[in-house]
Chains A and B, each alone.
Chain A
Amino acid sequence: MPIIINLDVEMAKKKISLNELSEKVGITPANLSILKTGKAKAIRFSTLEAICKELDCQPGDIMEWREEEK
């Protein structure tokens, strides 16, 4: 998928673990892991809002579009 998730970069910048973030955002670590590894098919605005709030960043910092390699 040409949408790249850079959640791990933002998490490293803020020095927050996956378990800690999942607890603060209110989703399971398994689901956050799916999001982090780019396996998710979609993300709810409410989840995105909670993550941005906790990491103090913009949606564009977490997600990025790149042209698909042919």
Chain B
Amino acid sequence: MKTKNVSLAFLALLTGLIYLLSFIITIMNSEDYFNQLFDGLNENIDVLDVKTGDFYREKETIKLYLRHKEGSNSFPDTITNLKTDVRMRADYNLITVRYNNIEDVKENIVTSIISFIISIFFLYAFIAIPIVFYKLILSVYRNDIFNNRNVKRLNRMGILYLTAYFSMILLYYLQFIRIKRLIELKDYDITLMPIIDSTSGMLLLGVILFIMGNVMSRAIKLKEEQDLTI
């Protein structure tokens, strides 16, 4: 039993590290949000508008997921390979642009409030998932496995994962609607699909946790029956 407990502790620690790593990667991918924060501090960066000759202030960094209007195999752009000095055909999927959204600020107050509320849900799920997980692991570690508390924990983790998934999708969708309203590109459509695709693991995990909860609930009934067989 001691070896089993050691391996369980090791797996729990590994899971915690992976979760932390995924958090760090998320933070690194959200670099543009931090850039926006610093932009707010350095508002004296003025950019010259070539057409009008006026200076304006860029306010926002936006990530755009793109899909070429003629399909993904059209490769409409080119990029230079410095090793061979040959230009290669390219199809941009993700670009980051700087956008001047001064006029847009007032229109976005409602969207910002909704985004803030959804972010709170996401943050709650993100913090609560490891807490519930470690309570479950601690219970298993103490050999107190088949009980209704653990069924509730599994179901709660399922709900939290689904909350995190849907709040994340909603946040991106709100941003997507806004971007579609502000930006239109010549050869590319702005799309939401890569986000839905990359986060679908959370949806799958949420549903699997519900199934696990259901399986454990049945296991408890079988155990009770076994315990009451004389």
Contacts and interface: CB of A to CB of B under 8 A. Distances in A.
A50 to B, nearest CB: 11
B225 interface: yes
A15 interface: no
A26 to B, nearest CB: 11
B144 interface: no
Contacts of A41: 224-225, 228-229
Contacts of A39: 228
Interface in B197-230: 224-225, 228-230
Main secondary structure of the interface of B (DSSP, over half): mixed
A47 interface: yes
Contact of A43 (B224, B225, B229): B229
A43 B230 CA distance: 5
Contacts of B230: 27, 31-32, 34-35, 40, 42-44, 47
Assign chain A's interface to a size class: 10 to 19
A21 to B, nearest CB: 12
Interface centre among A32, A41, A43 (most CB of B within 10 A): A41
Contacts of B224: 41
Nearest to A27: B230
Interface string A32-57: 10110001111110010000000000
Contact of B225 (A31, A35, A42, A47): A42
Contacts of A32: 230
Nearest to B225: A41
A23 to B, nearest CB: 15
B133 to A, nearest CB: 33
B226 to A, nearest CB: 9
B228 A44 contact: no
B230 to A, nearest CB: 5
Please list the 3 inter-chain residue pairs (A to B) with the smallest Cβ-Cβ separation, ordered nearest first: A41-B228, A42-B229, A35-B230
Interface of B: 224-225, 228-230
Given A42-B225, A42-B229, 19 more contacts: A27-B230, A31-B230, A32-B230, A34-B230, A35-B230, A39-B228, A40-B228, A40-B229, A40-B230, A41-B224, A41-B225, A41-B228, A41-B229, A42-B228, A42-B230, A43-B229, A43-B230, A44-B229, A44-B230
16 contacts: A31-B230, A32-B230, A35-B230, A39-B228, A40-B228, A41-B225, A41-B228, A41-B229, A42-B225, A42-B228, A42-B229, A42-B230, A43-B229, A43-B230, A44-B230, A47-B230
Interface of A: 27, 31-32, 34-35, 39-44, 47
